[in-house]
Amino acid sequence: MCVMDEEMDIHFGIAHTRWATHGEPSAVNSHPQRSDKNNEFVVIHNGIITNYKELKKYLNSQGYEFESETDTEVIPKLIKYLYDNRESEDVSFSMLVERVIQQLEGAFALVFKSRHFPGEAVATRRGSPLLIGVRSKYELSTDQIPIQYNSGKGSCKRFFFFFFVPSVCIFLTAHLLLLCSAIIEHTNKVIYLEDDDIAAVAEGKLSLHRMRRQAGEDPVRAVQTLQMELQQIMKGNFESFMQKEIFEQPESVVNTMRGRICFDNNIVILGGLKDHLKEIKRCRRLIMIGCGTSFHAAVATRQILEELTELPVMVELASDFLDRNTPVFRDDVCFFISQSGETADSLMALRYCKERGALTVGITNTVGSSISRDTDCGVHINAGPEIGVASTKAYTSQFVALIMFGLMMSEDRISMQKKRLEIINGLKDLPDLIKKVLTLDKKIKSIADELYQQRSLLVMGRGFNYATCLEGALKIKEITYMHSEGILAGELKHGPLALIDKHMPVIMIIMRDPCYSKCHNALQQVTARQVRCTWACPYSTHQKKQLQYNTTLFCFGLTPLLCSFHPYTYLFNTLVDFSRRICSCLYHTFLPLLF
């Protein structure tokens, strides 16, 4: 991207860095994809077109030649085919796009440009989020844009417009930014598009329309204000965004609890759930659905929620949940946990559950995200922007939010009051305890140095700490590219023990909980095989290599693991904030449109 000092009266550019789903990463497979060598139509696309093979076969039969391996290329070829075979000369750009999306199956967010329609751009979405940022030198004359249900040319005031599509990464003046943080540098006014909305910008005017109107559909799209400051997305004096976010955990958990827990009278109020609390208490089971770190947050809280609510709690990976066509009933309550609120598999699982009449609850970190808008109710974790691809503070805040849900559900259970008081006191002390763990940063690094250049690592634990093992192993994979595996200590004799020898480093997490004696037995079995590195925490085990720390809640063994493996990234020369091939829901930037 070139940098110019002078202002341009008219400028539009589109760019996109897409996860390589079809074909290897290469120039010919990169976006924008074009209709032909003359670039009559170009398009950038986030999502996956599931019927691209059928469309490609038909377009080949009509003489259209393909040059890439992507599913996206069928889109510019298809719109050119429709343009070449148009019935009249007065066909509009929006009308062509409308006809294109009628033929597409799958998920997509698209931005189109064409040589035949200079000064125009058209964007649309289905199943993949898209928003428009609005900036003006003058006060907006309206806070909503009406939807037209034809190819009309409705307009609004002259603005700067920015098109953004969420997915793998954002490139904006050399900064990688997350979700709405991609747009905050330019404007805090945004319009969220719904499925099959078509947004057209021409001659400085924005029009929104749809193919047809459905019953109960909102006829306008509101201009919303993002509650975010630019300084929240700056790295500051830290070496990476991930390191910054690790050290923000004391503040982020306070923000998650602020205004929701009254420590004086032990009352928990989650405003986003209170209107549905009676319905939730009548449910027959809780289903918690997520991917990656969010799934691990659900695993971490499952046992506590089962104790506090006395309800069966199912924890599901979103992709597996969909593959199995899991039975869901009207008296189920389904939780969808996602930092971004845009995780594709979780969104598909959300639609699946809504179709079956279940009550849906969103646990997200992004106001205005698809999950937060499409669920019946929910909790915003208030962790602040998370720029690093490897999630850190969002995990701890998700844990706290789910624990607060359990506390609210058990408020009127007399038998649970002692347990509730213990947990609430633990939450009160939590920020200070995390700060104490973070002061061990240098000691943690010295222990971690012994694991440098190892090819594999096992992380073991039991009970509450099993989720910590899973999440710790995931972080090691993401930021060091070392093979690691989270193992339930109770399964040690059922296979994993075959891997244990003096060449296999092991991290063992042991706490003074009901699983203490069983975990200690597993530790003895591991050390008996001359394992090179054993790390036991948070109490003294008389082992040579250990880290001792204190905590009240059984979830925060992860914080020292994060501190431990973050410095590895510099030894491995890896980009900790941009883990290779890791798909996080980030925004791809479409460069500013200025008329």
Looking at the fold, whether 250 and 319 belong to one and the same domain comes out as yes
**Residue that terminates a domain, selected from 387, 413, 439:** 439
Looking at the fold, whether 311 and 183 belong to one and the same domain comes out as no
In order, the DSSP letters of 155-193 are -----EEEEEEEES---BTTB---GGGGTTTT-SEEEEP
The answer to whether residues 59 and 77 touch, using CB atoms and an 8 Å cutoff, is yes
E-assigned strand segments in 91-142: 106-114, 120-126, 131-135
Of 25, 26, 68, 17, the closest CA to residue 46 belongs to 17
The answer to whether residues 335 and 318 touch, using CB atoms and an 8 Å cutoff, is no
Q: Count how many domains the chain has.
A: 3
Looking at the fold, whether 400 and 537 belong to one and the same domain comes out as no
The answer as to whether 369 is a domain residue is yes
Q: What residue numbers bound the domain in which 298 lies?
A: 241-439
Looking at the fold, whether 190 and 245 belong to one and the same domain comes out as no
- Other CB atoms within a 10 A radius of the CB of residue 127 amount to 17
The answer as to whether 44 is a domain residue is yes
- Compute the C-alpha angle 82/84/88, nearest 5°: 85
Looking at the fold, whether 560 and 534 belong to one and the same domain comes out as yes
Considering the entire predicted model, what is its pTM? Answer: 0.75
The answer as to whether 10 is a domain residue is no
The answer as to whether 118 is a domain residue is yes
Q: Are strands 120-126 and 160-167 parallel, antiparallel or unpaired?
A: unpaired
Looking at the fold, whether 65 and 156 belong to one and the same domain comes out as yes
**Residue that terminates a domain, selected from 389, 409, 439:** 439
What six digits make up the tokens of 111?
A: 């931005």
Looking at the fold, whether 432 and 326 belong to one and the same domain comes out as yes
CATH number at residue 71: 3.60.20.10
* Helix 558-565 / helix 465-480 crossing angle, nearest 10 deg: 20
The answer as to whether 115 is a domain residue is yes
**Residue that terminates a domain, selected from 439, 464, 480:** 439
Looking at the fold, whether 493 and 366 belong to one and the same domain comes out as no
The answer as to whether 2 is a domain residue is no
DSSP state of 127: B
E-assigned strand segments in 29-152: 33-34, 41-49, 106-114, 120-126, 131-135, 144-148
Rounding to the nearest 10 degrees, give the CA dihedral for residues 253, 254, 256, 262: 130
The answer to whether residues 256 and 397 touch, using CB atoms and an 8 Å cutoff, is yes
Q: Are strands 205-209 and 144-148 parallel, antiparallel or unpaired?
A: parallel
The answer as to whether 27 is a domain residue is no
CA 270 vs. chain centroid, Å, equals 22
Looking at the fold, whether 44 and 189 belong to one and the same domain comes out as yes
Query: How far apart, in Å, are the Cα atoms of 178 and each of 21, 45, 290, 384?
Result: 21, 18, 19, 11
CATH number at residue 280: 3.40.50.10490
Phi–psi pair at 313, nearest 5 degrees: -120, 115
What six digits make up the tokens of 178?
A: 């997350």
Nearest-angstrom CA–CA distance, 526 and 326? 38
Of 454, 524, 456, the closest CA to residue 489 belongs to 524
Task: Return the residue matching tokens 């929240």.
Answer: 232
Q: Could you give the count of Cα atoms lying within 13 Å of 202 in the half-sphere of its Cβ? A: 20
Looking at the fold, whether 287 and 433 belong to one and the same domain comes out as yes
Q: Which amino acid is at 518?
A: K
First to last CA, the chain: 20
Looking at the fold, whether 485 and 394 belong to one and the same domain comes out as no
Nearest-angstrom CA–CA distance, 383 and 340? 11
Tens digit of pLDDT at every position of the chain (595 positions): 444 455 555 556 776 666 656 667 778 888 888 999 999 999 998 888 989 999 999 999 999 999 988 889 999 999 999 999 988 888 889 999 999 999 999 888 899 999 999 888 899 988 887 878 777 655 554 556 666 655 444 333 334 444 444 332 222 222 223 445 566 666 777 788 888 889 888 876 778 888 766 655 666 777 777 666 555 566 667 777 888 888 888 999 999 999 999 999 999 999 999 999 999 999 999 999 999 999 999 999 999 999 999 999 999 999 999 999 999 999 999 999 999 898 889 999 999 999 999 999 999 998 878 899 899 999 999 998 887 778 889 999 999 999 999 999 999 899 999 999 999 998 998 888 888 877 776 777 776 777 777 788 888 888 888 998 898 889 888 888 889 899 998 888 898 888 888 888 888 888 777 887 788 788 878 877 777 655 655 545 445 455 554 454 554 455 555 554 544 444 454 556 555 555 554 433 333 333 2
The answer as to whether 12 is a domain residue is no
- The residues, ordered by sequence, that sit 6+ positions from 127 with a Cβ below 8 Å of its Cβ are 47, 106, 107, 108, 195, 344, 347, 348
Looking at the fold, whether 190 and 131 belong to one and the same domain comes out as yes
Nearest-angstrom CA–CA distance, 155 and 236? 41
